[in-house]
Amino acid sequence: MSLARASLSLVGVIGVLATALAGATIWLLVTQPVTVADSVAKGEVSPVVRALADVLYGAFRGLLKYL
């Protein structure tokens, strides 16, 4: 495997992860705006991170259900 091919693969994986994280963040803003607003107002990130992890876990579990 050449260096160019490996770097393309790495960029693809990072792109997919960034897209999933952005989609989960938008979903969280739409479905739980109070949690996000409270976290931003208080300066705490742990509730948002926990909610993002729950959203991503639920999506991953739903994907695995179809496989």
Domain boundaries, the chain: 20-66
Compute the distance between CA of residue 56 and CA of residue 37 in angstroms, rounded to an integer.
20
- Would you place residue 16 in the very low, low, confident or very high pLDDT band (cuts 50, 70, 90)? confident
- Calculate mean pLDDT across residues 14-18: 89
pLDDT at 1: 62
Kindly report the number of other CB atoms within 10 A of residue 55's CB atom: 19
Q: Are 24 and 56 in contact (CB under 8 A)?
A: yes
Tokens of 2: 């050449």
Per-residue pLDDT tens digits for 17-54: 899 888 888 988 898 888 888 888 888 888 888 888 88
